[in-house]
Amino acid sequence: MKNKVNNRFMGIDPGLNFTGWGVIEHKGADKFVYIASGVIKTSLKTPYPERLHQLFSKIMDVVNIHTPDAAAIEDTYININNQSSIKLAQAKAAAIIAISHHKIPLVDYPAKKVKKTITGSGSADKTQVIKMIKYWLPEVTTEISDEADALAIALCYASHYKQKGE
C-alpha cells in the first residue's frame, strides 16, 4: 500500500552492465531509514535489446515490491566514447520508463550534486561516498559502488524534497 505522505525514495544509478538501486524512507529532519538496495547485472553474452528489457523488468519488480513514492536517477554524462554514452542513455531510459509506468515522480541529479549533498564535497571519491552512506544509513553493509551510489541518489532527493502540504 502506498504511503500517503511522500517519504519513500528510490535512487537509481543506471548502467547497462550494472544498475544500482536503493530505497530509503525519510522520517523527518535528518532521520533516514534503509529499506533495501541491490545491483541489477546483465550479461555481455545476452543480446542488447534483451539486456535493456531485463533492466526494465527488474526495476519494475523493485518498484512493485518496495513501492517508492518518488524516485531519482543519476544524470547521464557524455564521455569520449559515443557508443558508451548512447548505451548508458538507453539503460537510463529503460529505468525511466519502468518508473514512469507506475506514475512515480522522477528527478535527475548530476553526480557532483549527489556527492556534495552526501559528503559535503562535489569531488568526493567512491570510498568517501560509501563511508557517508554508512553514516546516514548505519544498517547498510554494501561496498559495491553502484549500489552505494543509488542510495546516495535516494538520500540526495530525500534531503532536497519539499513536502507540498498534502
Whether residue 3 lies inside any domain: the answer is no
- Residue 139 marked ligand-binding: no
Q: Mark out the alpha helices in the chain (DSSP H runs).
A: 48-66, 82-101, 111-119, 126-136, 145-160
The yes-or-no answer on residue 74 being catalytic is yes
CATH, residue 81: 3.30.420.10
Whether residue 44 lies inside any domain: the answer is yes
Q: What domain range is 152 assigned to?
A: 8-160
pLDDT digits (tens, 9 = 90+) for 19-65: 999 999 998 777 899 999 999 999 999 999 999 999 999 999 999 99
CA 22/CA 166 separation, integer angstroms: 25
- Is the pLDDT at 2 greater than 90? The verdict is no
Task: Say how many domains are in the chain.
Answer: 1
- Residue 69 marked ligand-binding: no
Task: Give one DSSP letter per residue of 45-57, joined into a string.
Answer: TS-HHHHHHHHHH
- Residue 125 marked ligand-binding: no
Name which of 166, 164, 165, 161 is nearest 25 in CA terms: 161
Under DSSP, is residue 108 helix (H, G, I), strand (E, B) or coil? strand
Whether residue 1 lies inside any domain: the answer is no
